[in-house]
Each structure stands twice: as structure tokens, then as C-alpha cells.
Amino acid sequence: MFDFVDRPAWSKAMAVFDLETTGLDLREARIVTACAVEIDQDGNITGANKEWLADPGIEIPVAASNVHGVTTEIARANGRPANEVVGELLDTLRGFFARGLPVVAFNAPYDFTILHYEALRHSLEPISDPRPVIDPMVLDKFVDTYRSGKRTLEVASKVYGVTLEDAHNATADAVAAGRVAQAIAKKYSDKLPDDLDVLHNSQIEWSFIREVSKGNFPGVHDPARLAVEALGAEVLVSSVEALYTTGSIHDSLLTGVERVRSGRDFNVEYWVFLSVLPLDSLGA
């Protein structure tokens, strides 16, 4: 297929990732189905089509089953042991990152945070520095800031002309997220960085500025000034410490402070807690 639009190289070869789970609690939710595959520049799956069905070891709430279609009975009869699924998923994602492939996930902090806690639950090594990650939800909010309405994958798919035939199926959602990212890259190539590391870090910055501007960080004042200063290290440090002081952030995330002070880049785990998720999900 001919592509005459000069779009970023990262949009032409990427991996996509999605989880369907037992619920929304980031620390307690279990993986039910997962997908992690590569797609080409046209959004078609290449290589192995990797989708997992896990037996999460707990009852799957009816509300969750109604979303993704997997009941406790189905998972127990057909799912693989959760520790095996989580281990293989971690290995697959590590393989993508090792090759320099960006991993696309819609609302990436949700999926990567749940995977992080699932790894710890099964005594597996979490992915300590998952990068580069591309979150089409963050890209969409950046390039089309003032569009009204919801910012779900279903809505984004319609906006960018992507077909999503089986919403909340892990593979369908993962591939649709990748195609949305590619569509955004094609339409807004002049607004997005070509360099993957720059793009990864820019998403952190855009998300942080957006959340501060909405007043979601108690103790952080004058969001316009923060935006102008483009999130210097001391701003980020004081933000983390302010959240900790108010009891709005889990104490383990204070390691993020030292990460900033030492000049190291943020990874997705800190992006998760500093920018995207509502504060009430971070109780100690």
C-alpha cells in the first residue's frame, strides 16, 4: 500500500498491547485476557498473533464479564494459570522493547499498572522501565485538545476512521489502538516528535500539564506558570512531595522523587501516578 504522507517512522512498525481484567482496582484487578502483537504500517498484524486467556484464580465479577464476555466458568475451563500468562506477557513485551519497538496501549497507565502488580503478585520481575510507550488517548488529547465529548477508544476510533468491530476483545482493542495512533501520526505529523524517546517524554509532560490545569494536583499552584516552564525537575519533585504530604499518593512512589533528582528519565510507572489516574485511586 502506498503512503504518500510523511509521517513519523515510529508509526510504521509498532507493537500493540491490551488487557481485559476482573475490575478497575489497579492493585487488585487480575488479567483475564491479554494481547501483545506487532502491526505493520497499515495496521495489520504481523508475526505471531499472541492472545492469552487466563484463569485469574478469583471470581470474575458479573459487571466485568458483561464487558469482555469471559465468565468465571469460561476462564476456569479454558484459561491457563495466571502466573504462566503473566510471565509470557512480560517476556513478549520485553522483547518488543529490546528491539526498540514502541508499544501502543490506549490509556497505557491502566494496562501497565495492572501488569506491574500482577507481576509482583506472582513473584515475577516487573518491567522496570517500559519505554517507548505510545498512548493514543494522550496523543488525541494533545492534538485535538478542545474537542468535546468522551475520549474512549470507541470514540477515538470513529473520529479517526478506524474500524472497531469487537470492542473489549483484547486483540480488537489493541489493534484498534495501534491504528488510531497511526491515524493521528498521519493527520498530525507536524505536531508530533519524530524521535521515540522525545515522544515518550512529551506524553508525560502533556498529561501532567493537562491534569494540573484541571486542578487535580493539590498543593501545586499556578498551572499556567508550570506549563510555561515545561515541568522542570524541581516542579515535578515538589508535586510528588505535595501529594505525599496531603496523603494523596502511595509512599512507594516517593522513589520517583529520587529518580527526578538524579536526572533520570521518568518511566511509565511514574507517568501513571503523576499524570493520568485520578488521585482517589492512589490511597496508601
Indicate which CATH number applies to the domain containing 17: 3.30.420.10
Domain boundary among 155, 187, 219: 187
Tell me the pLDDT tens digit for each residue of 42-84: 999 997 778 999 999 999 999 999 989 899 999 999 999 999 9
**Helix or strand run (H / E) with residue 270:** helix 268-271
In a domain, 117, yes or no: yes
- Smallest CA-to-CA distance from 105 within 20, 165, 187, 26 is with 20
For residue 225, the model assigns a pLDDT of 37
Distance CA 187, CA 181 (A): 10
For residue 280, the model assigns a pLDDT of 34
In a domain, 3, yes or no: no
Question: Do 78 and 202 belong to one domain?
Answer: no
Question: Do 155 and 61 belong to one domain?
Answer: yes
Question: Do 144 and 37 belong to one domain?
Answer: yes
This prediction has a pTM of 0.76
Question: Do 182 and 124 belong to one domain?
Answer: yes
Domain boundary among 187, 206, 222: 187
Number of structural domains (the chain) is 2
Question: Do 247 and 132 belong to one domain?
Answer: no
Tell me the pLDDT tens digit for each residue of 237-255: 455 445 445 444 444 444 4
CA distances (Å), 250 to each of 218, 255, 273, in order? 15, 10, 9
Question: Do 201 and 172 belong to one domain?
Answer: no
Please answer whether residues 135 and 106 qualify as being in contact, where contact means their C-beta atoms are separated by less than 8 angstroms.
Answer: yes
- Domain assignment of residue 252, given as a range: 196-282
Say whether 143 sits in a helix, a strand or coil.
helix
Question: Higher confidence at residue 276 or residue 241?
Answer: 241
